[in-house]
């Protein structure tokens, strides 16, 4: 069975290489990859190619913290369709369990271990490959992304007890990168690669969690993974709702998630007398009403969840679609709720 990983695993690679003024194209070609290939985050590539690319790139640039620098470009949304479900888990423990549950949909060769030892917990991410590869950069990248996930649940000020890395220190000139990514100084030449956190952190509440959004995401994921026969319209509608928060609700992203070419997906939708743009707009309309009704979500959050890069773009779309800006729609919804006896925000 092929060992594959989503192209999203290389998110931030081109930007990081540009910072060193190194042309990545020859390095990509060495591994049978191209820059155009990296445009579609849902496309699958051999995991060995991704691992070797980072090692060769670190050697070519002379940057021993290449993987960590890529981690700085990441957000929870880069986990793809599962990111909405993970983001709204009630605690770090349940977020990590969800990450383990859907690991095969994110990177089947990277396994998360959560080992509790009294008041401490060790979080490790290990590659399980048929043929081992030197993977210092990929391991650091994985741990950096894991640290960012923890911080997204526990808050920006959170820091692990320590970070253990099996490789040598890259030198004091690179210490700032480790501090930015991990919020602490790591221990080098350790026996394992992992993040050590306080056991109490596992059950601290996620202040951004929303049970309704988590249940909604779970329902969508279950529907997408169900073997039951459904129409292309149903599949695409579900995928759009899952991929919107990550900014990947494109026809290319949905086609890749369904294992189809864009042209094939377009033909299927044409046969069902609809189009991707119609389904995208319909999903945004449905979710805009749902999200704006949740008074805990800022309008900027709603704009981001619907895949808009700015609140201005979202406001213009909302006004054109509903005849009023989102702030007015929210005010009307609150007024109606206030008229309901016994209703409390």
Q: Is residue 344, in this structure, part of any structural domain at all? A: no
**Within this chain, do residues 186 and 306 fall inside the same structural domain, yes or no?**
no
Domain end, chosen from 203, 238, 262, is at: 203
Q: Is residue 51, in this structure, part of any structural domain at all? A: yes
Q: Is residue 219, in this structure, part of any structural domain at all? A: no
**Within this chain, do residues 26 and 104 fall inside the same structural domain, yes or no?**
yes
Mean pLDDT in residue range 158-164: 96
CATH number of residue 295's parent domain: 1.10.10.60
Alpha-carbon distance of 208 to 256, in angstroms, equals 30
Q: Which residue has the higher pLDDT, 271 or 226?
A: 271
**Within this chain, do residues 86 and 133 fall inside the same structural domain, yes or no?**
yes
Judging by beta carbons within 10 Å of its beta carbon (0-12, 13-18, 19+), is residue 119 exposed, middle or buried?
A: exposed
**Within this chain, do residues 180 and 54 fall inside the same structural domain, yes or no?**
yes
**Within this chain, do residues 31 and 65 fall inside the same structural domain, yes or no?**
yes
Note whether 263 and 301 are within 8 A (CB).
Answer: no
Q: Which residue has the higher pLDDT, 107 or 99?
A: 99
pLDDT tens digits, one per residue of 169-197: 998 999 999 999 999 999 998 888 899 99
**Within this chain, do residues 57 and 91 fall inside the same structural domain, yes or no?**
yes
Q: Is residue 233, in this structure, part of any structural domain at all? A: yes
Note whether 77 and 245 are within 8 A (CB).
Answer: yes
Alpha-carbon distance of 307 to 249, in angstroms, equals 8
Alpha-carbon distance of 130 to 23, in angstroms, equals 31
Q: Is residue 216, in this structure, part of any structural domain at all? A: no
**Within this chain, do residues 189 and 230 fall inside the same structural domain, yes or no?**
no
**Within this chain, do residues 130 and 253 fall inside the same structural domain, yes or no?**
no
Note whether 195 and 182 are within 8 A (CB).
Answer: yes
Mean pLDDT in residue range 97-102: 89
**Within this chain, do residues 12 and 140 fall inside the same structural domain, yes or no?**
yes
In DSSP notation, 258-317 reads HT--HHHHHHHHHHTT--HHHHHHHHHHHHHHHHHT-TTS-HHHHHHHTT-SSHHHHHHH
Q: Is residue 13, in this structure, part of any structural domain at all? A: yes
Q: Is residue 208, in this structure, part of any structural domain at all? A: no
Domains in the chain, number: 2
**Within this chain, do residues 18 and 164 fall inside the same structural domain, yes or no?**
yes
Mean pLDDT in residue range 130-154: 92
Q: In the prediction, which pLDDT does 337 show?
A: 57
Stated as kind and residue range, the H or E segment containing 110 is strand 110-117
Q: Is residue 221, in this structure, part of any structural domain at all? A: no
Within the chain, residue ranges assigned H as helices are 13-18, 25-30, 47-61, 66-71, 83-87, 92-101, 103-106, 136-154, 175-182, 211-225, 232-243, 251-258, 262-271, 276-292, 299-305, 311-322, 326-338
Alpha-carbon distance of 154 to 148, in angstroms, equals 10
Please say if the pLDDT value at position 103 is more than 60. Answer: yes
Q: In the prediction, which pLDDT does 343 show?
A: 44
pLDDT tens digits, one per residue of 281-304: 988 987 888 788 777 778 998 898
**Within this chain, do residues 65 and 165 fall inside the same structural domain, yes or no?**
yes
Confidence of residue 317 (pLDDT cuts 50, 70, 90): very high
Q: How far is CA 83 from the centre of its chain?
A: 5
Strand order in the sheet with 110-117: 110-117, 120-127, 194-198, 162-164
**Within this chain, do residues 317 and 263 fall inside the same structural domain, yes or no?**
yes
Alpha-carbon distance of 11 to 142, in angstroms, equals 12
Domain end, chosen from 171, 203, 235, is at: 203
CATH number of residue 111's parent domain: 3.90.1520
Residue 38 belongs to domain spanning: 4-203
Q: Is the pTM of this model over 0.75?
A: no
Give helix 232-243 / helix 262-271 axis angle, nearest 10°: 120
């Amino acid at each position: 069975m092929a060992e594959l990983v989503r192209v999203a695993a290389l998110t931030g690679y081109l930007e990081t290489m540009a910072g060193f003024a190194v042309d990545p194209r020859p390095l990509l070609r060495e591994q049978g990859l191209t820059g155009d290939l990296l445009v579609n985050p849902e496309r699958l590539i051999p995991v060995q190619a991704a691992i070797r690319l980072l090692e060769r790139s670190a050697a070519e640039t002379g940057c021993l913290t290449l993987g960590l620098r890529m981690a700085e470009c990441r957000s929870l949304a880069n986990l793809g369709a599962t990111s909405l479900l993970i983001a709204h888990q009630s605690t770090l423990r349940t977020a990590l369990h969800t990450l383990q549950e859907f690991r095969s949909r994110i990177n089947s060769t990277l396994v998360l271990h959560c080992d509790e030892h009294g008041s401490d917990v060790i979080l490790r991410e290990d590659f399980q490959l048929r043929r081992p590869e030197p993977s210092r950069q990929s391991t650091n990248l994985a741990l950096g992304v894991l640290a960012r996930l923890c911080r997204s649940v526990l808050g920006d000020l959170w820091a692990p007890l320590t970070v253990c890395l099996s490789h040598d220190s890259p030198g004091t000139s690179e210490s700032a990168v480790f501090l930015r990514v991990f919020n602490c100084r790591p221990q080098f030449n350790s026996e394992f690669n992992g993040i050590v956190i306080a056991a109490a952190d596992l059950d601290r509440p996620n202040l951004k969690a929303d049970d309704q959004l988590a249940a909604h995401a779970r329902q969508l994921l279950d529907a997408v993974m169900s073997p039951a026969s459904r129409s292309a319209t149903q599949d695409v509608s579900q995928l759009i709702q899952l991929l919107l928060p990550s900014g990947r609700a494109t026809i290319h992203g949905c086609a890749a998630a369904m294992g189809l070419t864009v042209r094939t997906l377009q033909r299927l939708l044409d046969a069902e007398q609809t189009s991707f743009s119609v389904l995208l707009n319909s999903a945004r309309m449905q979710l805009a009403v749902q999200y704006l009704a949740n008074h805990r979500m800022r309008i900027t959050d709603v704009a981001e969840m619907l895949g808009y890069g700015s609140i201005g773009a979202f406001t213009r779309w909302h006004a054109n679609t509903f005849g009023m800006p989102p702030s007015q729609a929210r005010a009307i919804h609150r007024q109606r709720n206030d008229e309901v006896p016994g209703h409390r925000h």
